[in-house]
């Protein structure tokens, strides 16, 4: 009833009531009744108006919710299309990379070293393709466009082939991969083969990634009630209890210092693919003892003929030692005269790649994490390395922890350390610089940049400001004392104070240090093994790099001017010689 109708209804009834009262002689009660009616009317009218306002607000809210839902749906569709489009865009160039690689690998025209380079490229290209395919599958699931396409397959042949695919990868890490089949070898099931392969591949790759050296992985195939059950058990690092219920969530990553890798996509995809099969996934785990990942799918046995799956010949990467012995491009360096570089990297492929790069010039020792590196260093029978290259993010012991251990030990603090990081801007770099790292490289790095920095750091080992008071320099038998290090620090401070003055000569530096020029020359040479001029240049160049990395400089000309170089091209030439890249490349 509208407000006007309500009003006329009450007025009409009031007049009628008044007439009745007047006719029977109750005129005195008229005003009381009239007032009572007014109160009731006002009360009801107020309720009516509030109800109208509530209905209008409800309509507005419903419209807003509808619009928001449409916006969210549109955004979700845009995201789905983006992932699908970018995945397709990436798959095309990857195919054009992987196909020629396959042709070259099959040509039998490569040296052992080049063959191994191409195998590394091929395997990591395939890993990238796998991640792209996962993104594509997730986008299809989000758009509800992914369907199950079942076909008959021999379950023993399928799972055995998947296990064989990862056997060589496990061997590279000295991990045993066992296969156990508890179903008749002739059993044929109806499954979506690519989707089952994706689930098991994710399980196995994760197991290998998080299982330490000399560990064990078991792929088990069995029948439970009316279901096919496949499990992957490992003796890895395990998953914290609070993470067990979340590992299959999209983009979830277990928060552990030794459990940092991954995108949070693979296991989420496994869960959704299993549910698409009307199946399920789950995990059982115990910290430091390992994990077991399960997938259970309907057991749809069939007697249809299946295509025989051919045995695969997955060739493992040749060992570094075999390449050193058989490579036709052997170098003239004597193993005894080579300096040693210790590489600390948990990724097996990158570790092998760095060994290949450095082994032409240096004796390379490779370890998987900081703990292994420290154990090797503390083994008195091993030769002390001239340089250490360490990744930052690693399981068991990360690079920052390793760096702290090295710099707190008199025996190792003088060894120059290069840190590898996957990010261009991170607080971890600042921590490393504060602790005393000599240099760091951002992945992916340029080969020439890596080699140039390694070469220069080894040559300048004794320039470390944080060196031990009793460190023996590699090039000399002279013992460096605490006084020497303190004196050298003062020299460096004086050079930095006058770094923009191109007229600040060795004579000026000697006067600042209150010694003769001859004494200054002899002392710098004795402590660092370098001439004062080269030592001053080194400080200038490292200061230049610090300014570049901190983002304090916008142009190369500004940088060269601040460092006292009149010739910008000459400065750039010196910088490239020192670090393997030009200052302009550092700015980009």
CATH of the domain at 186: 3.30.565.10
Token pair of 36, please?
């009572």
Domain boundary among 459, 490, 518: 459
Claim to verify: residue 112 and residue 156 sit in the same structural domain:
no
Determine the pLDDT at residue 37. 59
Claim to verify: residue 125 and residue 137 sit in the same structural domain:
yes
Long-range Cβ contact pairs of 576-579 (< 8 A, separation 24 or more): 576/452, 577/452, 578/452, 578/456, 578/538, 578/541, 579/449, 579/452, 579/453, 579/456, 579/541, 579/545
Claim to verify: residue 130 and residue 184 sit in the same structural domain:
no
Kindly report the CATH number assigned to the domain that includes residue 559.
1.10.10.60
Question: Is 304 part of a structural domain of the chain?
Answer: no
- Cβ atoms of 365 and 385 within 8 Å: the answer is yes
Claim to verify: residue 285 and residue 384 sit in the same structural domain:
no
Determine the pLDDT at residue 402. 92
Claim to verify: residue 492 and residue 381 sit in the same structural domain:
no
Question: Is 587 part of a structural domain of the chain?
Answer: yes
Determine the pLDDT at residue 237. 84
Strand partners, 335: none
Determine the pLDDT at residue 377. 93
Determine the pLDDT at residue 279. 94
Determine the pLDDT at residue 372. 92
What is the DSSP track for 155-218?
HHHHHHHHHHHHHHHHHHTT-EEEEEE-S-TT-EEEE-HHHHHHHHHHHHHHHHHTS-TT-EEE
Q: Average pLDDT of each block of 10 consecutive residues along the chain (588 residues)?
A: 55 61 55 59 68 78 77 64 59 68 78 81 77 68 69 91 83 88 91 89 88 92 93 90 79 54 70 90 90 94 69 44 46 60 86 84 92 91 90 86 86 86 52 63 73 82 44 43 74 85 84 86 75 81 78 78 82 79 73
Kindly report the CATH number assigned to the domain that includes residue 387.
3.40.50.2300
Determine the pLDDT at residue 38. 64
**What's the total number of domains in the chain?**
4
Q: Which residues of 456-486 are buried (b: 16+ CB within 10 A; e: fewer)?
A: bbbbbbbbbeebbeebebeeeeeebeeebbe
Domain boundary among 254, 275, 298: 298
Claim to verify: residue 337 and residue 255 sit in the same structural domain:
no
Residue 154 backbone phi and psi in degrees, to 5? -80, 115
Question: Is 96 part of a structural domain of the chain?
Answer: yes
Claim to verify: residue 24 and residue 51 sit in the same structural domain:
yes
Claim to verify: residue 140 and residue 170 sit in the same structural domain:
no
What pTM was estimated for this model as a whole? 0.47
Sheet containing strand 280-286, edge to edge, reads 176-181, 216-224, 227-234, 290-298, 280-286
Determine the pLDDT at residue 227. 92
Helix axes 370-378, 399-407, angle to 10 degrees: 30
Claim to verify: residue 352 and residue 380 sit in the same structural domain:
yes
Domain boundary among 146, 172, 201: 146
Question: What whole-number distance in Å separates Cα of residue 562 and Cα of residue 564?
Answer: 6
Question: Is 326 part of a structural domain of the chain?
Answer: no
Token pair of 84, please?
């699908």
Question: Is 306 part of a structural domain of the chain?
Answer: no
Question: Is 311 part of a structural domain of the chain?
Answer: no
In which domain, by residue range, is 492 found?
462-588
Claim to verify: residue 354 and residue 293 sit in the same structural domain:
no
Question: Is 312 part of a structural domain of the chain?
Answer: no
Determine the pLDDT at residue 476. 39
Question: What whole-number distance in Å separates Cα of residue 98 and Cα of residue 146?
Answer: 26
Claim to verify: residue 584 and residue 468 sit in the same structural domain:
yes
Claim to verify: residue 141 and residue 154 sit in the same structural domain:
no
- Cβ atoms of 122 and 98 within 8 Å: the answer is yes
Question: Is 341 part of a structural domain of the chain?
Answer: yes
């Amino acid at each position: 009833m509208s407000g006007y109708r309500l009003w006329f209804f009450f007025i009409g009834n009031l007049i009628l009531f008044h007439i009745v009262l007047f006719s029977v002689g109750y005129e005195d009660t008229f005003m009381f009744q009239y007032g009572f009616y007014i109160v009731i009317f006002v009360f009801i009218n107020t309720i009516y108006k509030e109800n109208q306002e509530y209905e209008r607000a409800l309509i507005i809210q419903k419209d807003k919710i509808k619009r928001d839902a449409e916006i969210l749906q549109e955004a979700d569709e845009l995201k789905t299309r983006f992932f699908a489009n970018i995945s397709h865009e990436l798959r095309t160039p990857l195919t054009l990379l992987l196909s020629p690689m396959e042709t070259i690998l099959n040509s039998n025209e490569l040296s052992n070293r080049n063959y191994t380079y191409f195998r590394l490229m091929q395997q990591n290209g395939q890993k990238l393709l796998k991640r792209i395919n996962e993104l594509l599958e997730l986008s299809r699931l989000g758009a509800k466009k992914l369907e199950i396409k079942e076909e008959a397959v021999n379950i023993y042949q399928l799972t055995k082939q998947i296990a064989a695919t990862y056997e060589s990868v496990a061997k590279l890490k000295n991990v045993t991969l066992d296969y156990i089949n508890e179903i008749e070898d002739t059993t044929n099931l109806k499954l979506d083969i690519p989707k089952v392969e994706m689930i098991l591949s994710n399980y196995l790759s994760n197991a290998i990634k998080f299982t330490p050296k000399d560990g064990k992985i078991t792929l088990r195939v069995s029948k439970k009630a009316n279901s096919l059950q496949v499990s992957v058990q490992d003796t890895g690092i395990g998953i914290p209890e609070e993470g067990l219920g979340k590992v299959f969530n999209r983009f979830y990553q277990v928060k552990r210092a030794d459990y940092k890798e991954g995108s949070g996509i693979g296991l989420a995809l496994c869960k959704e693919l299993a549910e698409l099969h009307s199946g399920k996934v789950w995990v059982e785990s115990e910290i430091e003892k390992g994990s077991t990942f399960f997938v259970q799918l309907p057991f749809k046995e069939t007697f249809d003929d299946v295509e025989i799956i051919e045995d695969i010949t997955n060739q493992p990467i040749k060992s570094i030692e075999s390449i050193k012995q058989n490579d036709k491009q052997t170098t003239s360096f004597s193993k005894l005269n080579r300096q040693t570089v210790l590489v600390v990297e948990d990724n097996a492929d990158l570790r092998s790649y760095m060994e290949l790069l450095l082994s032409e010039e240096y004796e390379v020792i490779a370890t998987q994490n900081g703990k292994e590196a420290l154990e090797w260093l503390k083994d008195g029978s091993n030769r002390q390395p001239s340089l250490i290259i360490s990744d930052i993010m690693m399981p068991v012991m990360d690079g920052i922890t390793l760096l702290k251990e090295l710099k707190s030990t008199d025996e190792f603090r003088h060894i120059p350390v290069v840190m590898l990081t996957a990010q261009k801007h991170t607080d971890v770099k600042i921590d490393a610089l504060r602790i005393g790292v000599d240099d760091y490289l951002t992945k992916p790095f340029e080969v020439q940049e890596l080699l140039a920095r390694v070469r220069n750091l080894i040559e300048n080992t004794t320039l470390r400001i944080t060196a031990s008071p009793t460190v023996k320099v590699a090039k000399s038998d002279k013992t460096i004392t605490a006084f020497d290090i303190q004196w050298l620090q003062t020299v460096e401070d004086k050079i930095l104070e006058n770094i923009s003055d191109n007229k600040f000569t060795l004579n000026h530096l000697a006067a600042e240090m209150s010694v003769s020029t001859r004494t200054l020359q002899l002392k710098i040479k004795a402590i660092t093994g370098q001439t004062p001029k080269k030592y001053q240049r080194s400080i200038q160049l490292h200061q230049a790099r610090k300014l570049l990395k901190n983002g304090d400089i916008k142009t190369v000309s500004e940088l060269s001017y601040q460092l006292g170089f009149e010739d910008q091209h000459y400065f750039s030439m010196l910088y490239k010689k020192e670090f393997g890249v030009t200052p302009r490349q550092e700015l980009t």
